Amino acid sequence: MGKAQEPVSSVENAGGGRAADDLFRHYAEMITSGVLGEGDPLPPEREIVETHGVSRTVVREAVLALANKGLVDARPRFRPVVRKPSFDTAFETVDNVVARLLIQPGGVKNLFDTRIMIEAALVRQAATDAKKDDIAALKTALEANKAAIEDSELFYRTDTGFHAVLYQMPRNPILPAVHKAYTTWLAPQWSKMPRLPDRNRANFEAHAEIYQGILMRDQDAAEAALRAHLANAWNQVRETFGDI
């Protein structure tokens, strides 16, 4: 074959985009439309080269893009497999950008404010909608939290666990993913803070108050307790890091 440059690609090239982009869109479409389902492997790179009439460079860049966007899972020497879509992976793929946004002035505060807003909404909802099982799960988490007051490491995990229950209650898969994102992105601040049994005890008391509000079906009380709890947490952050 000649040198190059004749647009041999069989993929849509109308957009005038780069060949790699077109190939990316081609497979992204195959995946989104379900032609390629979860767990299905992509064809070998050399096969795509033939079927699409492009160089391996282009194929690799396209596959790379699919992997970077979280559509496929590419491990060395294995065919890339279509990834199970989840909101968790969605948050993972933006980790780098978010990291940049958080180091900016007010970045962490902005994120934390949305957390307050969402958790306030969650506890209000819990106060009206919580089923018996939900209350039980919350109580279990609360008791685990209480038992961990002397062990700051364990307390941190049970603390997270208590809040996690709130995110699970609406049974909306988006919410636990949001919670995971919060804990991941706010961890740098949170984990570096001094943790003492006294602090733990105060936080446990706050959790208990939230639980009580939900148990009593008192939306306003539950929300107030939660806002006080998170506002206090933020103050602790500010004491440790100053204005960020």
For tokens 């208590």, name the residue. Answer: 162
Size of the site for DNA (CB under 7 A): 32
Contacts of 58 (CB under 8 A, 6+ apart): 19, 20, 23
Which of 92, 205 has the CB closer to a copy of itself?
92
**Of DNA, a copy of itself, none, which one does residue 228 interact with (CB within 5 to 8 Å by kind)?**
none
Q: Is 46 in the site for DNA (CB under 7 A)?
A: yes
Binding segment for DNA (CB under 7 A), chosen from 51-59, 108-116, 151-159, 216-224, is 51-59
Cα(208)–Cα(229) distance, integer angstroms: 11
**Footprint of DNA on residues 215-234 (CB under 7 A)?**
none
Give the up-direction half-sphere exposure of residue 226: CA atoms within 13 A in the CB hemisphere: 28
Among 51, 128, 172, 191, binds a copy of itself (CB under 8 A): 172
Cα(102)–Cα(244) distance, integer angstroms: 9
Residues 57-96 as x/- pattern, contact with a copy of itself by CB under 8 A: x--xx--xx--xxxx----x--------xxx-xxx-xx-x
Beta carbons of 231 and 133 less than 8 angstroms apart: no
Among 1, 33, 97, 198, binds DNA (CB under 7 A): 1
For residue 190 the two structure tokens come to 């949170």
Burial class from Cβ neighbours inside 10 Å (0-12, 13-18, 19+) for residue 226 reads: buried
Cα(135)–Cα(166) distance, integer angstroms: 10
Among 25, 30, 40, 55, binds DNA (CB under 7 A): 55
**Residue 41 three-state SS:** strand
**Of a copy of itself, DNA, none, which one does residue 54 interact with (CB within 5 to 8 Å by kind)?**
DNA
Among 8, 49, 81, 120, binds a copy of itself (CB under 8 A): 120
Cα(30)–Cα(107) distance, integer angstroms: 37
Helix axes 107-129, 95-103, angle to 10 degrees: 110
Among 60, 109, 146, 180, binds DNA (CB under 7 A): 60
Which of 52, 163 has the CB closer to DNA?
52
Q: Is 14 in the site for DNA (CB under 7 A)?
A: no
Give the binding site for DNA (CB under 7 A).
1-5, 8-9, 18-21, 42, 44-47, 53-58, 60-61, 63, 74-80
